[in-house]
Amino acid sequence: MSSQEFRHIVRILGSDSAGTLKVGYAVTNIKGVSLSISNAVLKKAGISPDLRAGFLTEADISKIEEIVKDPAKYNLPTWMFNRRKDSDSGKDLHLISADLVLRTKTDIDDAKNIRSWRGYRHAYGLKVRGQRTKTTGRSGKSLGVKKKTLMGGKPGGAPAAAEGGK
């Protein structure tokens, strides 16, 4: 495929991106890749971030995929990685797509198993990062006051049939 042929959908590492997007933003459609990592990858690959993704060649796409899969090999700074000092291996890693989701889930499960406070909050569906909970995060609980018309009857809230007598 020549560089002049335009593709409306570009597939990079299992993620579809619109061909009309600039390459820097198209690469961010990969789960685990931010705009700063995307720009660093494109700089290492020698691709202009202003180029539209639809004009990328297969060689360009494979170069981007190779760098995103192993950024340490291409001397990207470790502060950009999303998993520094991994608890299992002790290495600086950058996880993408399903690996990132799976590792995050296992981290939460580990926190629950050791009964840490963070794990407790995850287990009970509460906010984990110190946010206030008095007024927010009330999903699943009754909210507010029901309207009088929904109660069926007089403004006091008692149903009309429960009135006794006449």
Residue 104 resides in a domain: yes
Q: How do residues 104-137 score in pLDDT, each as one tens digit?
A: 899 899 999 999 999 998 888 889 888 888 888 7
Q: What is the pLDDT of residue 134?
A: 85
Give me the number of domains the chain comprises: 2
DSSP letter for each residue of the chain: --TT---SEEEETTEEEETTSBHHHHHTTSTT--HHHHHHHHHHHT--TTSBGGG--HHHHHHHHHHHH-GGGGT--GGG-SB-S-TTT-S-B---HHHHHHHHHHHHHHHHHTT-HHHHHHHTT---SS---SSS--TTS--S---HHHH-BSTTS-BGGGG---
Average pLDDT over residues 26-43: 93
Last residue of a domain, one of 53, 80, 107: 80
Rg of the chain, C-alpha, whole Å = 26
Q: Is the pLDDT of residue 70 over 60?
A: yes
Q: What is the pLDDT of residue 3?
A: 46
User: How many C-beta atoms surround the C-beta of residue 137 within 10 A?
Assistant: 13
Same domain, 68 and 110: no
Residue 1 resides in a domain: no
* Domain hosting residue 107, numbered range: 96-131
Residue 26 resides in a domain: yes
Percent of the chain with pLDDT over 70: 82
Same domain, 74 and 19: yes
pTM: 0.69
Same domain, 69 and 21: yes
